[in-house]
A and B are shown apart, each in its own frame.
Chain A
Amino acid sequence: SQELEQSPQSLIVQEGKNLTINCTSSKTLYGLYWYKQKYGEGLIFLMMLQKGGEEKSHEKITAKLDEKKQQSSLHITASQPSHAGIYLCGADSDDKIIFGKGTRLHILP
């Protein structure tokens, strides 16, 4: 079965700094999703990547899928308090999405 490993597990950064979260899959990724979750809430869709080498951006968040389609990264530029939360990567697996354990991001003012 496919497994996703996220790193780091948690991250504390000063407001205004850049940061990167990584997601590594045990199998080739045919659809890679990034979601954000506020503590105790549901998941909010950020981006989906499907093609090797694909890169998407929304506001200050950029996600990339490597050429071999086994790794993805999420980069936040000039972090803000609103970026705090749990970032989850998910993989398309037989008509459902399986998720990594998440990266907990804290932003220090």
Chain B
Amino acid sequence: DTGVSQDPRHKITKRGQNVTFRCDPISEHNRLYWYRQTLGQGPEFLTYFQNEAQLEKSRLLSDRFSAERPKGSFSTLEIQRTEQGDSAMYLCASSFGGQWTEKLFFGSGTQLSVL
């Protein structure tokens, strides 16, 4: 069990640029989640995949955000035309989903700063 890994750990970008984050889940997990966390707040759900299918997207996920999980393995989260309000910690989590929501295993997150 190598855990959930996220890359990069930190990203600084200028407003208007595009950024992409990567998440590698625990290999046997079929569900992968993306959350966003700002200072002083709990993680907010963005979207999740079961295998390669994106099953739910939060209203927080504007059309500038897109997530993919090709072949049900790693996932990418892209933000186009970044805004200062996008500055946050982006957390990825994975689980072995079945009838119930199993506990989520989280990565260390990608801290995004938009200047």
Contacts and interface: CB of A to CB of B under 8 A. Distances in A.
Contacts of B44: 99
**Majority-rule SS of A interface residues:** strand
B37 to A, nearest CB: 9
Interface string B45-74: 100100000011000000000000000000
A45 B103 contact: yes
A101 B42 contact: yes
Contact of B91 (A43, A44, A101): A43
A96 B48 contact: yes
Interface residues of B, number: 26
Contacts of B33: 96
Interface residues of A, number: 23
Interface in A4-48: 4, 31, 33, 35, 40-45, 48
B108 interface: yes
Interface of B: 4, 31, 33, 40-45, 48, 55-56, 89, 91, 93, 97, 100-101, 103-109, 111
23 contacts: A4-B42, A31-B100, A33-B103, A35-B106, A42-B4, A42-B106, A42-B107, A42-B109, A43-B43, A43-B91, A43-B106, A45-B103, A45-B105, A48-B103, A92-B100, A92-B101, A93-B101, A95-B48, A95-B56, A95-B97, A96-B101, A101-B42, A102-B41
